[in-house]
Amino acid sequence: MEHLYNYSLEELTEYFQSIGEKAFRAKQVFQWLYQKNAYDFQEMSNISKDLREKLEKNCVIDQFEIKEKQVSSDGTIKYLFSLVDGNLIEAVLMQHDYGQSLCVTSQVGCNMQCAFCASGLLKKQRNLTAGEMVNQVMAVSKDTGIRISHVVVMGTGEPFDNYDEVMKFVRIINHPHGLAIGARHITISTCGLVNMIERYSNEGIQTNLAISLHAPNDEIRDQLMPVNKAFNMDVLRKGIQDYIEKTNRRVTFEYILLDGVNDSLTHARQLAHYMRGLNAYVNLIPYNSVDEHGFQPSTNVEAFKDELLRLHINCTVRKEHGRDIDGACGQLRAKRSGVI
């Protein structure tokens, strides 16, 4: 069976031509999928009965099963989805004053093994297809009746470890005949795969790049993020500088504040020094505790932020979402899998 969410419009056009159909029929079906949220081929009233029957026989419009749904008092909704092969993944819908943002998962599990992260409690089983990422957006939109305006690929997994499928996903949801989510409303987060950042800089698309930094120096980052041993902070900075020069796009540094680990004023000064001269800003993140890791949320968030501002570093503190539910990436899946 052909899984239609896995097709870009260009690929769908090629498929339709291969089965003897006119190219414009692919555009019609693509619009039914994404602009009219059709889940049944019989809804597609402007295509022939013969084509609808052909599609029924050979194609499928996937619908994820919602295994669990947690709703926070702040409006955040965390979903646990079951895939066709029985694997579980998460997605999180967050309410902002600028719209509805969905945090999308790109892999089943994660091999990056960041010391503070619940996602790495379960190692990578496989990459998600572009269609499985699209399906997260469609399933949440169907469940809530809400149009998703922003997408962040920051859920479980390292997006640049699944590069081709993530970029295909981005182009499907960005397409004007699809969901038409603006490129500047799409953010991809990486823990720092510098070779892939270079590749990403050549994509020619105005999506946003976020770097999971979480440390002001190599000593701390080596302890928190094993990827730093492959791409240390100097190498990472050079890669980011090259990306900014090539794309003229501002970069976000994500920085989780861990009590007594990376949250002192000295650390703030080191971070400011590292960022000097880069077109970038810091998104400070209050930590959602994962008992298995032993880290605690920082009590120094405001002082850390004030020190960065004093040193002329643009920064914000991320509004906490889902504090009263399993808010951290991977927590709900890990619980259901018996890891925590």
- Residue positions annotated with a catalytic role: 90, 329
Residue type, 121: L
Residue of 209, 2, 254 whose CA lies nearest to 114: 254
Q: Is 298 annotated as a binding residue?
A: no
Q: Is 114 annotated as a binding residue?
A: yes
Q: Is 214 annotated as a binding residue?
A: yes
Determine contact, residues 112/100, Cβ cutoff 8 Å. no
Q: Is 122 annotated as a binding residue?
A: no
Residue type, 233: M
Burial of 328 (0-12, 13-18, 19+ CB in 10 A): buried
**Would you tell me how many other CB atoms lie within 10 Å of the CB of residue 224?**
21
Name, in order, each residue with C-beta under 8 angstroms of 185's C-beta and a sequence gap of 6 or more: 99, 149, 150, 151
Q: Is 103 annotated as a binding residue?
A: no
d(CA 292, CA 269): 30
Q: Is 212 annotated as a binding residue?
A: yes
Q: Is 119 annotated as a binding residue?
A: no
Kindly report the backbone phi and psi dihedral angles of residue 324, in degrees, each rounded to the nearest multiple of 5, phi listed first: -90, 5
| CB half-sphere exposure, 268, CA atoms < 13 A | 23
Q: Is 320 annotated as a binding residue?
A: no
CA angle 89, 91, 97 (to 5 degrees): 175
Q: Is 59 annotated as a binding residue?
A: no
Q: Is 158 annotated as a binding residue?
A: yes
Numbered residues of the known binding site for [4Fe-4S] cluster? 110, 114, 117
Numbered residues of the known binding site? 110, 114, 117, 157-158, 189, 212-214, 288
Numbered residues of the known binding site for S-adenosyl-L-methionine? 157-158, 189, 212-214, 288
